[in-house]
Structure 1
Amino acid sequence: MGCGCAAAAATACTYNEELGRSQLVFVSSGQMAQLASSAWGDLKKQQKVTTDPKYVDRVRRVAPKIITASGGNPSEWEVQVFASKDLNAFALPGGKIGFYTGILDIMDNDAQIAAVMGHEVAHVNYNHSGERYSQQVGSSVAISAAQAAIGTGSRTGQLAMAALGVGAQVGVLLPFSRKHELEADKFGLRYMHRAGYDPNEAIRFWQKMSAQKSGSPPEFLSTHPADATRIAQLEREIALLK
């Protein structure tokens, strides 16, 4: 159950029963939500938010089901679709979900939207961004840096956005760890299954994303690698749902 924390950092090390491991996080959930709110506001200024029902209706049809299945309250989440050819989607602490029209264009059905949304919401629910930010900034400055990063273009601000999964906007890519990816896959599959979607569509989607590797891979694939090992893990998790 130990997480290798130094004594001075013991208060930042907590054991998560669902994950079966300890998490080392030096910033509070409130601070991460503040960072996310700032990043979200910046994104909506920098990126065009579309109201095209072809995209918006699809995402907002799925979102309440996934949020409810994850134990959340849909009324506490904001969902937006950004008009961009980028293959990208994300969820942020504090209840924010963003999808890009580019990734929706390659999704065959609502179940594939649910697969990605469940995965991203799981990253939020299990505080993966808080872990990533703490690891990158370091224990000695994480808390003060979190405050300073809000609403700034500083390096700590860039790392914060990268940790939240929107780092491409500031030129910083920060992939989730393999551990985080497998955890998000596991719980994201549970969310979509609980919401009534076919979890096999998750595999079909990631296989489709893997086919995008030719040339310059999209940001989403750079930070969420879809390889054979991951597909095999998804298959094992799906078998446990039956």
Structure 2
Amino acid sequence: MNKLKSAMLAFIVLLTVGCSTVPITGRRQLSLVSDQEVIAMSFQAYDEVLKQSKLSTNAAQTAMVKRVGQRIQGAVERYMAQNGYSAQLEGYQWEFNLIQDDKQQNAFAMAGGKTAVYTGILPITKDEAGLAVVMGHEIAHAIAKHSNERISQQMAQQYGGAALGAVVGGRSGAAQEIANTVYGIGTGVGLLKYGRDQESEADQLGLIFMAMAGYNPEVAISFWQRMAAGGGSGTPEFLSTHPSNDTRISNIQKHMPEAKKYYNAR
């Protein structure tokens, strides 16, 4: 019984001390792994993606991806500096690539700013503003530390109170083991799946970042309507864990006035 109480106490302490706050939304999230560890894991996973993929040779499309990424990067850095969060970008090595894969209507951004877009999503984005919706959303996942949160959640589920020793003692074996699984390191890359709350949060932050970057956030509504339709090819994998179409658009409309303030204030 004493062992059970000790384990429960350790788990409570783990949940208490292992928390951080998401910029903009202020949501408290579980954070049992250091940013530096997660960034290192993300860089490793990103390198594997690039090794297993072919970069697009379309110069115009590649330049557009890099241009949108750099504009959103600038917006993120300005926002973080203005609100005292610049330290959270320590260790970032921004990179934006276009991967040649017309079957994948997808994109992702990893902790540390490593971002990729698949050519399969470009017919749905249609133009630069539509691409900014996607890249703003994905970069928001990185800024909100959703990968850290997902790894931490799985650590808590798998190890419970036992994870406290790994966190306090600075041992990252448990985190690395889980990250290898969630990122697919060594077994073929499988990108992180986020929960619906995290997806909704990325929608909100993404609207603000794209607006600060000079893209009209209202474009997001028509983009997500096209995305929900699957671009004519059924429901994309990109939407597999996202909120329902109606819920997403309703939430975007709710956050639109806030995003427009940033857009109009440029």
Map of 1:1-242 to 2, 5 A cutoff?
Answer: 6-16=12-22, 18-71=24-77, 76-85=93-102, 86-138=104-156, 140=163, 143-147=172-176, 149=177, 156-159=179-182, 161=183, 169-170=188-189, 175-212=193-230, 217-225=235-243, 227-240=245-258, 241-242=260-261
Identify the range of structure 1 (102-111 vs 6-15) with the bigger mean alpha-carbon deviation: 6-15
Contact 1:35 1:146 (8 Å CA) reproduced:
no
Number of matched pairs:
225
SS in structure 1 opposite 2:63? helix
* Distance change in 2, residues 1:8/1:232 (3 Å): closer
* Distance change in 2, residues 1:126/1:60 (3 Å): same
SS in structure 1 opposite 2:57? coil
* Distance change in 2, residues 1:36/1:59 (3 Å): same
Per-residue displacement from partner, 1:206-231 (whole Å, max 9, x unpaired)? Answer: 11010018875322111334510110
Contact 1:118 1:191 (8 Å CA) reproduced:
yes
SS in structure 2 opposite 1:51? coil
RMSD: 2.7
TM-score between the two structures when normalised by the length of structure 1? 0.82
SS in structure 2 opposite 1:106? helix
Contact 1:173 1:223 (8 Å CA) reproduced:
no
Which structure 1 residue ranges, 4+ long, deviate > 6 Å from structure 2? none
Instruction: Give the fraction of aligned pairs with identical amino acids, expressed as a percent.
Output: 38
Contact 1:89 1:100 (8 Å CA) reproduced:
yes
Specify the code of the residue in structure 2 equivalent to 1:82. I
Specify the code of the residue in structure 2 equivalent to 1:218. P
1:152 aligns with none
Whichever of the two has the greater Rg, that structure is 2
SS in structure 1 opposite 2:215? coil
Per-residue displacement from partner, 1:77-99 (whole Å, max 9, x unpaired)? Answer: 11111110110101011121100
* Distance change in 2, residues 1:78/1:28 (3 Å): same
Specify the code of the residue in structure 2 equivalent to 1:127. K
Per-residue displacement from partner, 1:10-44 (whole Å, max 9, x unpaired)? Answer: 32123446322211111111111111111111111
Q: 2:254 & 2:191 partners in 1: Cα distance? A: 29
SS in structure 1 opposite 2:135? helix
* Distance change in 2, residues 1:6/1:219 (3 Å): same
Q: 1:183 & 1:133 partners in 2: Cα distance? A: 17
List gaps (5 residues or longer) in structure 1: 150-154
